[in-house]
């Protein structure tokens, strides 16, 4: 009876999806912003529908989804804060360098001005004394007065330059204090987010223990893997149906036209396409062992059509490359591109992690053509 009810739910879901595909795109085909909003709405609705098919494990999977998405967001925030802090620190160091330079220049000008004043005092006394004692040389007297006028103007300019540099030094000091305050503020935010991240990771570990206890027998694991694959298949089918309704942009090279594509991340391939995953299942993509935090780069230009958590795949990003080709990147720690984003080949779209309940860090990578998985080794450069 339970399986009959579940089959009816699947059938109802298929009818709902077909109806949704028919309705979507009809009213806002010419409005990119509306299309993006509608796509996100439809993905959220599909996520809710798929998530409701296995009620027994909903609570555990929901908690895993919450904690891993939280970890992803916190990780991204930490990296952004760290980048800002480094930028602020660089600006602070540059201001401090300018401050030292200004102080040295002011000291040099002080010394030069003091020497000028001493020399002017000594020369000035002698010249003026000779000028008044010798009234027979008016031309020489005029030259001496002119000389003193130039000399006085030069001293005034030097004094003004010192004043300007002192004012600039005061402004630099104020900016340095502001930059230091911002660095301290960013450091405080970073420390708070770091503590929150550690708490989220501890919560995730507790969820993983619950999942292990829930799986129990191997048969349960097989059911979960099958369910996860069906979820992904539905998502890809839904996305393909929607993208077919979108206007095609002319120009650009077809997928993989320039030869062998790069792999999305460096690392050893732990599971190859088509190899046995269980006695009844084969891998639909490849699993690449990689260190946590390494950047994941998109293999070809395209548009991000999915960027969210999906059961079994964790934080997943799907890129549509046109001509029926899509690439999928799963088990990420955090995502760097959102739905609707245009990405260029080699651009970082996510960060390696172990989301989806994985114990080891790495990247799950698929290439699909017209919805069907194909061996990535056919498109990517040969590797061990």
Same domain, 195 and 221: no
| Interval 8-43: pLDDT, tens | 434 444 433 333 333 334 344 445 566 666 666 666
Virtual torsion, Cα 36, 42, 46, 47, nearest 10 deg:
50
Q: Give the pLDDT mean for 241-257.
A: 66
Let me know if residue 210 belongs to a domain. Answer: no
Same domain, 47 and 111: no
CB of 328 closer than 8 Å to CB of 316: yes
Burial group, residue 156, by CB count within 10 angstroms (0-12, 13-18, 19+): exposed
CATH number, domain with residue 280: 2.70.70.10
pLDDT tier at 262, thresholds 50, 70, 90: very high
Give me the chain's average pLDDT, please.
Answer: 77
303 vs 202, which has greater pLDDT?
303
Domain tally, the chain: 2
What pLDDT is stored for residue 193 in this prediction? Answer: 84
Let me know if residue 117 belongs to a domain. Answer: yes
Let me know if residue 70 belongs to a domain. Answer: no
Give the end of a domain, one of 132, 166, 199.
Answer: 199
What pLDDT is stored for residue 7 in this prediction? Answer: 44
Let me know if residue 266 belongs to a domain. Answer: yes
CA distance 364 to 228: 13
Burial group, residue 65, by CB count within 10 angstroms (0-12, 13-18, 19+): buried
For the chain, the C-alpha Rg in angstroms (whole number) is: 35
DSSP 32-82: HHHHHHHHHHHHHHHHHHHHTS-GGGHHHHHHHHHHHHHHHHHHHHHHHHH
> Phi and psi dihedrals of 353, rounded to 5?
-155, -150
Range of the structural domain that residue 149 is part of? 82-199
What pLDDT is stored for residue 128 in this prediction? Answer: 53
105 vs 353, which has greater pLDDT?
353
CB neighbour list of residue 305: distance below 8 Å, 6 or more residues apart: 39, 239, 242, 243, 318, 319, 320, 326, 339
What pLDDT is stored for residue 289 in this prediction? Answer: 95
Let me know if residue 383 belongs to a domain. Answer: no
Picking from 300, 312, 320, 322, the residue whose alpha carbon sits closest to that of residue 364 is 312
> Phi and psi dihedrals of 270, rounded to 5?
-90, -25
Q: Give the pLDDT mean for 251-261.
A: 69
What pLDDT is stored for residue 22 in this prediction? Answer: 37
Q: Give the pLDDT mean for 174-188.
A: 83
In DSSP terms, 327 is beta-bridged to 319, 367
Max avg pLDDT among 33-37, 147-151, 324-328 = 324-328
What pLDDT is stored for residue 355 in this prediction? Answer: 93
| Interval 38-77: pLDDT, tens | 666 666 666 555 554 444 456 778 888 888 888 888 888 8
Let me know if residue 65 belongs to a domain. Answer: no
Q: Give the pLDDT mean for 242-248.
A: 68
What pLDDT is stored for residue 140 in this prediction? Answer: 58
Question: Could you tell me where the beta strands, DSSP code E, fall in the chain?
Answer: 268-271, 286-289, 295-297, 302-310, 314-322, 325-335, 342-343, 348-352, 362-369, 372-374
What is the pTM assigned to this prediction?
0.66
| Interval 332-381: pLDDT, tens | 999 999 998 999 999 999 999 999 988 899 999 999 999 999 999 888 98
What pLDDT is stored for residue 297 in this prediction? Answer: 97
CB neighbour list of residue 10: distance below 8 Å, 6 or more residues apart: 53
């Amino acid at each position: 009876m339970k399986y009959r009810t579940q089959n009816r739910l699947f059938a109802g879901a298929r009818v709902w999806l077909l109806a949704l595909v028919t309705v979507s795109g009809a009213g806002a085909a010419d409005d990119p912003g509306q299309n993006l909003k509608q796509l996100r709405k439809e993905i959220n609705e599909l996520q809710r529908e798929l998530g409701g098919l296995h009620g027994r494990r909903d609570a555990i999977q929901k908690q895993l989804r919450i904690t891993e998405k939280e970890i992803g967001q916190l990780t991204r925030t930490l990296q952004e804060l760290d980048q800002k802090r480094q930028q602020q620190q660089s600006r602070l160091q540059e201001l401090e360098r300018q401050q030292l330079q200004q102080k040295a220049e002011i000291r040099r000008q002080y010394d030069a001005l003091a020497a000028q004043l001493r020399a002017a005092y000594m020369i000035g006394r002698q010249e003026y004394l000779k000028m008044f004692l010798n009234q027979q040389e008016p031309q020489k007297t005029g030259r001496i007065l002119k000389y003193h006028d130039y000399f006085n103007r030069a001293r005034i300019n030097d004094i003004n330059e010192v004043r300007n540099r002192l004012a600039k030094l005061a402004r630099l000091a104020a900016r340095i204090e502001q930059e230091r305050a911002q660095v301290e503020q960013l450091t405080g935010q970073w420390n708070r987010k770091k503590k929150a991240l550690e708490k989220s990771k501890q919560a995730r570990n507790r969820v993983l223990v619950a999942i292990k206890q829930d799986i129990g027998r191997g048969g349960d694991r097989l059911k979960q893997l099958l369910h996860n694959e069906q979820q992904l298949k539905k998502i890809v089918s839904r996305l393909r149906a929607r993208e077919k309704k979108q206007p095609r942009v002319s120009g650009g090279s077809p997928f993989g036209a320039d030869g062998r594509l790069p792999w999305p991340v460096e690392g050893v391939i732990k599971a190859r396409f088509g190899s046995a995953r269980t006695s009844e299942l084969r891998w639909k993509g490849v699993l690449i062992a990689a260190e946590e935090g390494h950047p994941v780069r998109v293999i070809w230009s395209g548009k991000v059509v999915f960027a969210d958590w999906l059961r079994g795949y964790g934080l997943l990003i799907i890129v549509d490359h046109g001509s029926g080709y899509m690439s999928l990147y799963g088990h990420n720690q955090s995502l760097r591109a959102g739905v609707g984003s245009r990405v260029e080949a080699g651009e970082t779209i996510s960060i390696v992690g172990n989301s989806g309940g994985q114990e080891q860090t790495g990247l799950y990578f698929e290439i699909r053509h017209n919805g069907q998985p194909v061996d990535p080794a056919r498109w990517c450069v040969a590797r061990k």
